[in-house]
């Protein structure tokens, strides 16, 4: 036997380690990974799929987004933020499930007055300049004031969107987060 072929017994893996110990270690790693994934999804960010055309042309059917959940813990939602939210009580009463997320744009903040007339949305009697909408709204809505703790949200596809002009104000506690990044399709990758 040559010195090169000599095997150091301290380096040779022991086959005497019980298989259950290896399985247990693997289980612990998977369990920790699952807990971390759940924490990230619950408190930091989660992926979402766009199932309808209510936000066209900004978002298309099939787009996949990252919804970030941290910024609204630090400050309230802003005008024109695109948000994801659980259906409020008035939508749940119409048959929508609690976990069926919606996505819309914030048009009115607490205390503001919203009105829709002559194909335009007015906020505090000022018409909005909205280059992001599919077409002007073909309906009217009398002035309404957004209550404290609530928002007025609309889809960019104004004439095909189940939004605040239909069901009312969105209480802040139903907001999950803001649409932050489109990651699919790849040719449309970027900030929302």
**Per-residue pLDDT averaged across 73-85, rounded?**
96
Look over the chain and give the mean of its residue pLDDT values, rounded to a whole number.
90
pLDDT of residue 29: 87
Query: pLDDT band at residue 30, thresholds of 50, 70 and 90?
Result: confident
Q: What is the 3-state secondary structure (H, E, C) of the chain?
A: CCHHHCCCCCCCCCCCCCHHHHHHHHHHHHHHHHHHHHHHHHHCEEEEECCCCCCCCCCCCCCEEEEECCHHHHCCCCCCCEEEECCCHHHHCCCCCCCCCEEEEEEECCCCEEEEECCEEEECCEECCCCCCCCCCCCCEEEEECCCCEEEEECCCHHHCCCHHHHCCEEHHHEEEEEEEEEECHHHCEEC
**Residue 13 in this model has a pLDDT that exceeds 80:** no
Task: Tokens for 131, please give them.
Answer: 């280059």
Instruction: Kindly state the percentage of the chain with pLDDT values over 70.
Output: 91
**Residue 4 in this model has a pLDDT that exceeds 60:** no
pLDDT of residue 175: 97
Query: pLDDT band at residue 15, thresholds of 50, 70 and 90?
Result: low
More confident of the two residues 5 and 104: 104
**Per-residue pLDDT averaged across 16-41, rounded?**
82
**Residue 6 in this model has a pLDDT that exceeds 90:** no
CA–CA distance, 84 with 192 (Å, rounded to integer): 12
What does pTM read for this prediction? Answer: 0.82
**Residue 119 in this model has a pLDDT that exceeds 80:** yes
Nearest alpha carbon to residue 178 among 60, 90, 73: 73
**Residue 16 in this model has a pLDDT that exceeds 60:** no
- Structural domains in the chain, CATH included, are 47-191 (2.10.109.10)
pLDDT of residue 28: 87
What is the set of active-site residues?
54, 104
């Amino acid at each position: 036997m040559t010195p090169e072929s000599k095997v150091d017994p301290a380096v040779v893996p022991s086959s005497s380690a019980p298989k259950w110990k290896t399985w247990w270690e693997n289980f612990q790693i998977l369990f920790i990974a699952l807990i971390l994934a759940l924490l990230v999804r619950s408190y930091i960010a989660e992926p979402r799929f766009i199932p309808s055309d209510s936000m066209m042309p900004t978002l298309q059917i099939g787009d996949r987004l990252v919804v970030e959940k941290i910024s609204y813990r630090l400050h309230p939602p802003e005008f024109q933020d695109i948000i994801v939210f659980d259906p409020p009580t008035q939508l749940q009463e119409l048959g929508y499930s609690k976990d069926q997320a919606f996505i819309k744009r914030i048009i009115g903040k607490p205390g503001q007055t919203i009105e829709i007339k002559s194909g335009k949305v007015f906020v505090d009697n000022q018409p909005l300049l909205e280059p992001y909408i599919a077409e002007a709204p073909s309906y009217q809505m009398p002035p309404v004031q957004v209550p404290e703790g609530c928002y007025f949200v609309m889809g960019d596809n104004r004439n095909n969107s189940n939004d605040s002009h239909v069901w009312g104000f969105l209480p802040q506690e139903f907001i999950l987060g803001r649409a932050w990044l489109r990651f699919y399709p790849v040719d449309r990758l970027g900030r929302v």
